[in-house]
Chain A
Amino acid sequence: MSAPIPERSHAEIQELLGAYALDAVDKETAALVEQHLAGCVRCSVEVSQHHEVAGLLANSGGASPASLWDGIASQLDSSTPPSWEGLAERLETGGDRVVDPTDAVVVPITARTRRGRWARRAGAVVGAAAAVLALVLGLQVHHLNNQVTALQSHPSLSAAEQAALREPSTMVVPLRATAGAAPSPTRAVTVVLTRSGTGFVEAGGLSALPRDRTYQLWGVIGGQTISLGLLGPSPGVVPFSVAGDVAVNAFAITAEHGGGVVHSSNQPVVSGQVTA
């Protein structure tokens, strides 16, 4: 067993930053520096600056070897995020399901209304009126860049729900808790998606996360899992949009760190399949 590594002061770590940025420290020292960087913005900035300078030194500006790209491209098809690998397949084939398909059947709004279920849900389920649609259609939610949180408080949103609910083609997809997922939702989470591609997720049933974390909405589209937006740590009604001609096969919500992620390695908190 190796001897414990002594803690180092801020000043000692600072002296190491140049060598660390050039990978000129051993693994143990690198681990110490990284531990320090996790809590020290000033030192993190300095390392980034050293990396930029080193990058300029390294920059030969030569052409990229075409032959190497062929080797890279040939390995891309099978390279999918491990935790999401097969999610779409499981949802679509029924094997090893994440959700029970009967829990996630798309039902036209009108049918739900006839059964009287909508009345109980109306205060919470989301929709879109023309005014808000105009606003939301301009918002192509590109995962890390979206500002959906700001739209949650849009004053027209509540009134807007009713308009979308009157559209017969609007789909409602209940998202159910995934077995073993944490934190578990307190009540149902629902996605509403209009034919135009404008959608809302009613996520008030999700348990609140710490402020430095966020829920993230995903869509399974053509076998790929794509981020549809950040929902915030304590979401309510959150709009999103997808291209109108895109068929979403399933939705899922994960809990991520505050900035969201491009690929999630976390198990979905809730998920639901879209069944035509």
Chain B
Amino acid sequence: MVEVEHASDANLVVAVGRWHQQALAEIYRRHGGAVHALARRILRSDPPAEEITQEVFLDLWKNPEKFDAQRGTLRSFLLARTHGKSVDFVRSEVSRRKREERTSRETATAGYDIDHEVWDMAVAGQVQEALVALPDELRHPIELAYFGGHTYKEVAVMLEQPEGTVKSRIRSGLVKLRANLTERGVEPAGGER
């Protein structure tokens, strides 16, 4: 039997399906840091980020079949779940008021300095390069939507642009970013059939 530390992510998920806790522990060891970091970045607070991190891994434990290896990597799956949960949280009524207040303050004092947050990330150099290579009009909507947890309609208001323009720029920005990453030798997985 292959030991968990040498098993592929997909095989670990299969093992999780057989209720092997060691497999889930190994998945957590590989991806827990990224999951927690993303939740913390979006939520800007430790307690809810920790709660969401736990939820994401417990969800995988309970419903491993939701991961489809043909659709992408386990990490992107976990991060997408993390992002969705984090965004749900920040959009909840409880947190909305505080967040709007904080956003308003940040926007006023620092022009909503998402750039700074992105640069704070210890992401690979190629990813940083690919991101910064994007024109501002494509990069800003992505940052505000992804790291800020805003809807594209909210982003449109923030950037004072038409909703349709923002919607299109998010999409074309992601496509361009993928191409930039590929040029730099980073091959995002996902979706090929």
Q: Spell out A's residues near B (CB within 8 Å).
A: 14-19, 21-26, 41, 44-65, 68-69, 71-73, 75-76, 79-81, 142-145, 224, 226-227, 261-263
Contacts and interface: CB of A to CB of B under 8 A. Distances in A.
Contact of B188 (A52, A68, A76): A52
B29 A64 contact: yes
A57 B25 contact: no
B139 to A, nearest CB: 11
B122 A61 contact: yes
Contacts of A45: 190-193
B24 interface: yes
Main secondary structure of the interface of A (DSSP, over half): helix
B17 A19 contact: no
Contacts of A261: 65
Contact of B84 (A16, A23, A142): A23
A54 B146 contact: yes
Interface of B: 13-14, 16-19, 21, 24-25, 28-38, 41, 50, 53-54, 57-58, 61-65, 71-73, 75-77, 79-80, 82-84, 87, 118, 121-124, 127, 131, 142, 145-146, 149-153, 155, 164, 166-168, 170-175, 177-178, 181, 186, 188-193
Contacts of B36: 62, 64-65, 68
A52 B130 CA distance: 14
A69 B27 CA distance: 11
A263 B189 CA distance: 26
Main secondary structure of the interface of B (DSSP, over half): helix
Given A22-B142, A55-B73, A144-B17, 4 more contacts: A18-B167, A50-B171, A55-B188, A57-B127
B58 A59 contact: no
Contacts of A227: 17-18
Given A142-B14, A262-B14, A65 B188 contact: no
B174 A21 contact: yes
Contacts of A79: 58, 61-62
Contacts of A16: 167, 171
A19 B34 contact: no
B13 to A, nearest CB: 8
A53 B17 contact: no
6 contacts: A18-B172, A19-B167, A54-B146, A58-B38, A262-B14, A263-B62
A60 B77 CA distance: 15
A49 B193 contact: no
Contact of A61 (B33, B77, B146): B33
A83 to B, nearest CB: 12
A225 to B, nearest CB: 9
A23 B150 CA distance: 8
Contacts of B118: 57
A61 B124 contact: yes
Contacts of B25: 69, 73
A60 B73 contact: no
Given A56-B123, A69-B25, A24 B131 contact: no
B29 A53 contact: no
Given A59-B127, A79-B58, A143-B17, A64 B83 contact: no
B54 to A, nearest CB: 5
B83 A76 contact: no
B111 to A, nearest CB: 20
A62 B54 contact: no
